[in-house]
Structure 1
Amino acid sequence: MSTAPSLKPPNPASLRSVAFLALGCRLNQAEESTYREHSLESGWKIVDYRESADIYIINTCAVTLEAERQSRQMIRQARRRNPAATVVVTGCAGRSLQGHPEMEGIADLYIPNLSKESLVEELHRFLGEAPHPQFERPFPPVHESRTTRLNLKVADGCFESCAFCIIPARRGTVRSLETDEIIKRLNLAHALGYQEVVLTAVHLGALGHEKNTHALDQLLERINSETEITAVRLSSIDPHEISPRMIEAMANSPRICRFLHIPIQSGSDTVLERMRRRDTQAGIRKTVLALKAAMPDISLTTDMIVGFPGETDQDFEASYQLMEELGIHKIHVFPFSVRPGTRAAFMKDKLPEAVIEARSQRLLELSHKQQSAWMQSWQGKTVKVLIETISKEGLGKGYTPHYLRVQVPGCSAEDHNRFLEVEVLDINPDRESVRGRRVHSASNVKR
């Protein structure tokens, strides 16, 4: 933990305003929910990050060099908005930003990742106050949250060593909540008004790994019988960590959303090995086919890295053909770029940018084609949509359990944070959304 001198004392505790910014992953967003609740319990007023505040808390991202650059930019913006503010920096980029020449004298307090859970307590100490005696809740009620969908942090850290990724070095190894505690927090989320919760972690499939348990399988089985939450969504999970038991639990549950994001990264066994991934093409195919057999309507998205060092034309074709064969509904394409501090940064046989760009474009075109076909498959069907925002004109927007983005005209304020049944009428693949006609409220419908 490191500090820089504050420019002047902040307002008294009862008058303080605090603003938050979470960059990058859902885990940072989940942590922001905790900081938001602890700030409310401290008697502080929450304001928009774009406003002048007494305290700014920035949760940074380091997944790419561009993410680190954006983190620096947002920290400098906070300082410019209020030169007298207390600027707090945490997150995966915190360690590298602390010694960066652009950051000299900008941030007041750096909180390392391993101390993030007690960030607001540390902030109280920095401000010369006694820490809050005990924070009551890990997240705020839905009306105090900035979103109707709660990202619930169930674990931190990762034990993998993928050649392209720096996050395990920044987040540490796996540290999981107990299953009983997760169930307790899901029920608390329901009591506080949330309709949907996303189970969030760096390495969700490793939940309970440090205790030698398959905690995710057990958790999914318990969610249906021991919670009242309407919808539970899983964040990213690697293909080899999707077990038959997990598939069965998902297929049998009216609460667990039939949507998975499975980062495949490559369809070539040679490239997967160079990436130090624990998946194989055959294993990926087997998992996806098993998911579709158990849940024909499941929605699947993935990440693919294009142009990894040493990737040949044959390797790329293997990736392209696997994506086409499996019919993945959306492919997030990441052209390879060197990330200092990773094994991949030292690899030879790096590809020309023109080759990477051409391959990326081909995969993006395939993604658009398959996503358009998936969206068209919903034409004329009735879906359940959680309304998250409503415009002044009454246009409601939200997502289905399958993560289809839907616009619904004719909504009123009382429809916010409610499930509506909507008939899908118009498809707009270019905007990745559909427009529908409201049928009736579906607040009590589980799927």
Structure 2
Amino acid sequence: MSATASETPLPTISAPAKNQPRSVAFLALGCRLNQAEESTYREHSLESGWKIVDFRQVADIYIVNTCAVTLEAERQSRQMIRQARRRNPQATVVVTGCAGRSLQGHPEMEGVADLYIPNLDKEQLVPQLRQFLGEELHPQFERPFPPVAESRTTRLNLKVADGCFESCAFCIIPARRGTVRSLQIDEIIKRIQLAETLGYQEVVLTAVHLGALGHEQNRHDLDLLFERINSETTMPAVRLSSIDPHEISPRMIAALAASPRLCPFLHIPIQSGSDAILQRMRRRDTSAGIRETVLALKAAIPGISLTTDMIVGFPGETDEDFEASYALMAELGIHKIHVFPFSVRPGTRAAYMKDKLPEALIQERTQKLLELSRVQQKAWIESWQGKEVAVLIETINSDGVGKGYTPHYLRVQVPGCSQADHNTFLPVTITGALWEQEVALGTRL
């Protein structure tokens, strides 16, 4: 049996060992926004006096933030929820995220999860969980995320908005996340300043529809936010999670170019280089507009690194449409292409479109675009050979090998690190690469 957050709590609740705090484990599937939300859950759990353990360990509570972007993502969500239940049959298993609504009635989930928290209530997940467990309500949590020492990563994914205004034909997420709901700029600045005091060296501004920040209040906040980050914070590195090409304004480009602390990296989902397919996808971009934006970025910010998402085999995609996508990617020299073969997602407009392509053809085109991505990514990594860069060291293994990213989002492996180097920007020279791992090799200066 399972319950929603609004239903009466189940009478059989897992309890920790006597005089021991409850242990809680988290799993964030899918997007960076789920990771940002996990930071909040971690902090609220710590303030509740709970002990955080790895998801692979036995815990009293498991919190799974699910993904619904594809049917495969939903399948993986179900798998991980069942895995948590098997790990501790007496645990309280909590499900939230974009797949939560569909999983709640799924036959595989019967008797597996104890509590479902809808997306619109997930900001209050831990308070609702405390109520479900019969614990006293916490008067008010002090912070929206934990100190870096208690965080899973050294890079803070900062949630600045939820929801989406778009209606792309292939995407289910607006139906699951709702319309855009933004933090005020003043609050975002306060949270970046708080992150500084808690030891973070990098913040990633995260949202489903980042370019629509403030639009629900007839504001266009992103350009102003960049300018205020430059003038009112000292965070060493601030990065954008993802932004559509048509939402990159000249003012934004100027702000990016003016600040060494705004990372020279953008992930811009292009999805197709064919105007006909972009229109069928209900995208707001055109191939000409995409080209103009990318060229403007490269002119204003020499060396900026760019990655993208591309969907291959969208219904009705002809040979000419695919070649237009391939040609645009080659022309623009996008450094890494995340290639997604089209798959039917029930509940989207694309699921009901005619002219679907044979799977073999979709896979053939996918491999061709992936090969272009490999070539362009290798050339990009090679372009860094011999250059001095700053690497934010995020992990250090037992052999003293540190790994992290540069402001350009170049992944670098550096030997000879100690724990004192963790969460610091380390100056290194790029000396080689491990191509299969898509990582550059660096020697510390």
Normalising by structure 2, report the TM-score: 0.97
State the alpha-carbon separation in 2 of the partners of residues 44 and 8 from structure 1. 16
AA in 2 matched with 1:355: L
**Is residue 411 from structure 1 mapped to residue 432 from structure 2 by the alignment?**
no
- Residue 211 of structure 1: how far off its partner (Å): 1.1
AA in 2 matched with 1:395: V
Of residues 282, 306, 315, the one that matches 2:312 is 306
State the alpha-carbon separation in 1 of the partners of residues 437 and 21 from structure 2. 42
Of residues 145, 155, 166, the one that matches 1:149 is 155
Task: Confirm or deny: 8 A CA contact 2:269 2:309 kept in the other structure.
Answer: yes
2:213 is matched with 207
1:376 is matched with 382
AA in 1 matched with 2:107: P
- Residue 225 of structure 1: how far off its partner (Å): 1.0
State the alpha-carbon separation in 2 of the partners of residues 272 and 339 from structure 1. 18
2:192 is matched with 186
Of residues 398, 407, 411, the one that matches 1:401 is 407
Task: Confirm or deny: 8 A CA contact 1:148 1:417 kept in the other structure.
Answer: yes
Task: Confirm or deny: 8 A CA contact 1:6 1:108 kept in the other structure.
Answer: no
Task: Confirm or deny: 8 A CA contact 1:58 1:90 kept in the other structure.
Answer: yes
State the alpha-carbon separation in 2 of the partners of residues 211 and 105 from structure 1. 42
Task: Confirm or deny: 8 A CA contact 1:58 1:88 kept in the other structure.
Answer: yes
Of residues 85, 93, 104, the one that matches 1:98 is 104
1:118 is matched with 124
State the alpha-carbon separation in 2 of the partners of residues 36 and 399 from structure 1. 24
Secondary structure at the counterpart of residue 175 of structure 2: helix
Of residues 319, 342, 349, the one that matches 1:343 is 349
Secondary structure at the counterpart of residue 46 of structure 2: helix
**Deviation readout 1:298-318 (Å, 9 max, x if unpaired):** 000000000000000000010
**Is residue 5 from structure 1 mapped to residue 10 from structure 2 by the alignment?**
yes
AA in 2 matched with 1:204: L
State the alpha-carbon separation in 2 of the partners of residues 178 and 163 from structure 1. 30
| TM alignment of 1:23-422, pairs within 5 A | 23-422=29-428
Secondary structure at the counterpart of residue 429 of structure 2: strand
AA in 2 matched with 1:126: F
Task: Confirm or deny: 8 A CA contact 1:14 1:44 kept in the other structure.
Answer: no
- Residue 7 of structure 1: how far off its partner (Å): 4.2
> Is there any run of 5+ residues in structure 2 with no aligned partner, and where?
none
- Residue 428 of structure 1: how far off its partner (Å): 2.6
In the superposition, relative to structure 1, how do residues 308 and 191 fare at CA in structure 2: closer, same or farther (>3 Å)? same
- Residue 427 of structure 1: how far off its partner (Å): 2.1
**Deviation readout 1:256-303 (Å, 9 max, x if unpaired):** 100000000000000000000000000000000000000111000000
AA in 2 matched with 1:67: A
State the alpha-carbon separation in 1 of the partners of residues 408 and 277 from structure 2. 30
In the superposition, relative to structure 1, how do residues 173 and 408 fare at CA in structure 2: closer, same or farther (>3 Å)? same
Task: Confirm or deny: 8 A CA contact 1:157 1:202 kept in the other structure.
Answer: yes
State the alpha-carbon separation in 2 of the partners of residues 143 and 171 from structure 1. 30
Name whichever of 126-135 and 317-326 sits farther off: 126-135
**Deviation readout 1:381-404 (Å, 9 max, x if unpaired):** 000000000011110100000010
State the alpha-carbon separation in 2 of the partners of residues 368 and 244 from structure 1. 30
Query: What number of residue pairs does the alignment pair up?
Result: 439
AA in 1 matched with 2:415: P
Of residues 418, 434, 438, the one that matches 1:432 is 438
Task: Confirm or deny: 8 A CA contact 1:6 1:86 kept in the other structure.
Answer: no
Task: Confirm or deny: 8 A CA contact 2:26 2:55 kept in the other structure.
Answer: yes
- Residue 87 of structure 1: how far off its partner (Å): 0.5
AA in 2 matched with 1:215: D
Secondary structure at the counterpart of residue 263 of structure 2: coil
Task: Confirm or deny: 8 A CA contact 1:331 1:367 kept in the other structure.
Answer: yes
State the alpha-carbon separation in 2 of the partners of residues 27 and 13 from structure 1. 35
Task: Confirm or deny: 8 A CA contact 1:205 1:238 kept in the other structure.
Answer: yes
AA in 2 matched with 1:83: P
AA in 1 matched with 2:15: P
AA in 2 matched with 1:186: I
- Residue 91 of structure 1: how far off its partner (Å): 0.2
- Residue 430 of structure 1: how far off its partner (Å): 2.4
State the alpha-carbon separation in 2 of the partners of residues 353 and 266 from structure 1. 18
**Deviation readout 1:232-273 (Å, 9 max, x if unpaired):** 010010000000000000000111100000000000000000
**Deviation readout 1:96-132 (Å, 9 max, x if unpaired):** 0000000001100000000000000000110112211
Normalising by structure 1, report the TM-score: 0.97
- Residue 6 of structure 1: how far off its partner (Å): 6.0
State the alpha-carbon separation in 2 of the partners of residues 414 and 215 from structure 1. 38
- Residue 8 of structure 1: how far off its partner (Å): 4.1
Secondary structure at the counterpart of residue 72 of structure 1: helix
**Deviation readout 1:70-110 (Å, 9 max, x if unpaired):** 00000001111111111100000000000000000110000
State the alpha-carbon separation in 2 of the partners of residues 13 and 209 from structure 1. 49
In the superposition, relative to structure 1, how do residues 13 and 75 fare at CA in structure 2: closer, same or farther (>3 Å)? farther
Task: Confirm or deny: 8 A CA contact 1:7 1:85 kept in the other structure.
Answer: no
State the alpha-carbon separation in 2 of the partners of residues 49 and 43 from structure 1. 18
Task: Confirm or deny: 8 A CA contact 1:10 1:86 kept in the other structure.
Answer: no
Secondary structure at the counterpart of residue 191 of structure 2: helix
